[in-house]
A and B are shown apart, each in its own frame.
Chain A
Amino acid sequence: MAAPLELGIDTFGDVTAGPDGALLSQAQVLRDVVEEAVLADGIGIDFIGVGEHHRADFAISAPEVLLAAIASRTKRIRLGSAVTVLSSDDPIRVFQRFATLDAVSNGRAEVILGRGSFTESFPLFGYELRDYERLFEEKLDLFAALLSQSAISWSGTTRAALSNQHVFPKIEHGSLKTWIGVGGSPESVVRAAKYDLPLMLAIIGGDPTRFAPYADLYRRAFAQLGRPVRPIGVHSPGYVAETDQQAREELWPDYKVMRDRIGKERGWPPMERKEFDQEASFGSLYVGSPETVARKIAATAKALDLSRFDMKYSAGALRHDKLMRCIELYGSKVIPLVRELLS
């Protein structure tokens, strides 16, 4: 690996339960996420990504606004979306918001552009799901053009054309760090290479080494294009507690509720404990003691030759105080262990 592995965390602003078990307001959840990020910054975590959703169970619909609030209270942690649903947004607006974030955070902004695994944003913003592919392709094309920071001339079918226009504010130093978030489509992998952008693989189930062909494909695409390869990152769910058993027991009830709620919409059967344990032991659920989680992250990082690993630490109603503990362990124990294992 050329650069040391960066270790980050992700959250969707999952609506958590309060001490009495009742769900907190989304506003409170947003404030809690800011506190979580502040903790992560203080403890040496490299990145926090907040995912855009438009649902009752996830409080974050405007990642840049939350990230700007985090920026004002942190010093060094990098700030990103995980992901920004570009298909149902305006690329210019997205760029402006992240450029503003980049300015107020002194160059710490990153955007992960994706199509999103949820579809609420399409009817919400007046887009047709049948345009899923075209929307992302065209908007990514425009966004990639914006990254050059020069005057834009662009035309497409999904928004008005641009003729020699500038977008402000400009990025102060270099370019806006832009990843392409990919869930498992080879076309998306090749597209990321085509636009010379880093690749963020969302691996939310199964053996992570299954994604080795995607990493290979990405690197081969760069080889064919004759360009130096860009970084690959992985986003996966996880949870750290003092012991393996404690981590699993604490995570399981809320994880199941969350999984079953989403699964119901997608036609998945309810999750059994056996499946959960299977994922924890062999799959893409990074749950356990700091040692267990660190070993697992190191194995994935080696297998896929990663530059970044982001653990999604929020899990449905799992309480803020537990998430804070998880972040603390991730920063103080998991990260040093992973670095040790990889050195």
Chain B
Amino acid sequence: MEPAAPGAANKPIRKLLGQLRSVLGRCVPPTTFLFAQRARNDFEEVALWWKPIQFAADNHAPHRSANNLHQSRGFDCEPSQAVLRVVGRLIGFGPPVGPDGVLLSQAQVLRDVVEKAVLTDGLGIDFIGIEEHHRADLAISAPEVLLAAIRVTHQTALHRQNGAHALADQKLRDGASDAVARAGYQCRLAHGIEWWIQQTHVGRKSRVNFNDTVAAAPAAAQFDKLLLADCDGLQADLGKLIRFQAKTRHNTLSLSAGARSRDPLAIVPFSLVVSTGVARSLKRFRFCRPPPRAMEQISKWQHLSS
């Protein structure tokens, strides 16, 4: 299916953005920016990207700032830049498993990395680093080849995003009857920095399952609780992959995140796909501030890494 022309996509997106701002305005962090992407068929997508390092520098540790973080990691880029590092599968940027929960082929993971990376280009991420590994669980062994496949035009970002989310859209369409919203949430967690993210309310019929390192599996948990539980999991077991899924009656809302120990860099991409009833759906999205404990943790990590 051909993507909608960017121009055509912009109108509903602008409307959506306006609505988002009016709903979220006062609780969006100062360095957060909104970026609207395409509209296609009945679905609009809004991607919200945080620059967590910059945010941390602005608000919590100005004297230690992102500058130190970057230098300590050996990155050759400006301290104010948001940096994304990608390793491929398990702690990579992008869903490590397919919709059915089975591990994807390495080839598919590589294509997914390209899609996500192209997306970052349109969203203000300044640098993408791809790590070389030679393991079954990490798909990237030839970073420069993968990097060359990443197109760098905004036009492309729009185009590719359609491909990347085609499956998600199809799924949403299939079970759309009482699905309120589907949030695609993909991020790298690092030391609690994700507490900026969001909570997503998926309605009364929600059921939430926790997998992997998050042992607790409270039924019908709200997402704010989920995030808090997740926070506990992180503290208890830094470095392990955390994956969780939330299910509505007809839709699966897949959330995946990886945590990696002793990595002060974090990037928190977050995208929402909302159904046609945009205004109605928006009421169901709420955003929270990071809990104080996470802030302490961030400061601690910045201190350690400087």
Contacts and interface: CB of A to CB of B under 8 A. Distances in A.
B240 to A, nearest CB: 22
Those 4 A-B pairs whose CB atoms lie nearest each other, nearest first: A103-B107, A169-B106, A172-B107, A68-B148
B172 to A, nearest CB: 24
Interface stretch (A3-11, A58-66, A300-308): A58-66
Interface in B122-175: 133-136, 138-142, 144-151, 156
Interface residues of A, number: 28
18 contacts: A65-B147, A67-B145, A68-B145, A68-B146, A69-B149, A71-B149, A72-B114, A99-B107, A99-B142, A100-B141, A102-B107, A103-B106, A104-B146, A106-B111, A168-B138, A168-B141, A169-B107, A170-B106
B71 interface: no
B105 interface: yes
A101 B143 CA distance: 11
B108 interface: yes
B110 interface: yes
Given A68-B148, A100-B142, 19 more contacts: A65-B148, A68-B147, A72-B114, A72-B149, A97-B142, A100-B140, A100-B146, A103-B108, A104-B110, A105-B149, A106-B111, A168-B133, A168-B138, A168-B141, A169-B109, A169-B139, A170-B105, A172-B107, A172-B108
Nearest to B156: A72
Contacts of A105: 149
Output the residue of A62, A64, A104 with the most chain B CB within 10 A. Answer: A104
B106 A68 contact: no
Contact of A65 (B133, B135, B136, B145): B145
A72 B142 contact: no
B142 A96 contact: yes
Given A104-B111, A166-B136, A168-B139, A97 B145 contact: yes
A26 to B, nearest CB: 15
B110 A169 contact: yes
A102 B108 CA distance: 11
A261 interface: no
A273 B114 CA distance: 49
B145 A168 contact: no
A168 B135 contact: yes
B119 to A, nearest CB: 13
B140 to A, nearest CB: 8
Given A72-B150, A168-B134, A104 B145 contact: yes
A73 interface: yes
A169 B138 CA distance: 9
Given A100-B141, A168-B136, A168-B141, A68 B108 contact: no
Interface in A77-103: 93, 96-97, 99-103
A185 B250 CA distance: 65
Interface of A: 62, 64-69, 71-73, 93, 96-97, 99-106, 166-172
Given A169-B106, A169-B107, A104 B114 contact: yes
Contacts of B144: 62, 65
B149 A68 contact: yes
Contacts of A65: 144-145, 147-148
B145 A101 contact: yes
A99 B145 CA distance: 10
B106 A168 contact: yes
B151 A103 contact: no
Interface in B85-111: 105-111
B238 to A, nearest CB: 26
B205 to A, nearest CB: 38
Contacts of A171: 107
Contacts of A99: 107, 141-142
A97 B141 CA distance: 8
Nearest to B150: A72
Nearest to B143: A100
B142 A73 contact: no
B135 A104 contact: no
Nearest to B110: A103
A97 B147 CA distance: 12
A104 B108 CA distance: 8
Contacts of A168: 106, 133-136, 138-139, 141
B149 A64 contact: no
A148 B255 CA distance: 36
A171 B107 CA distance: 7
Nearest to A63: B145
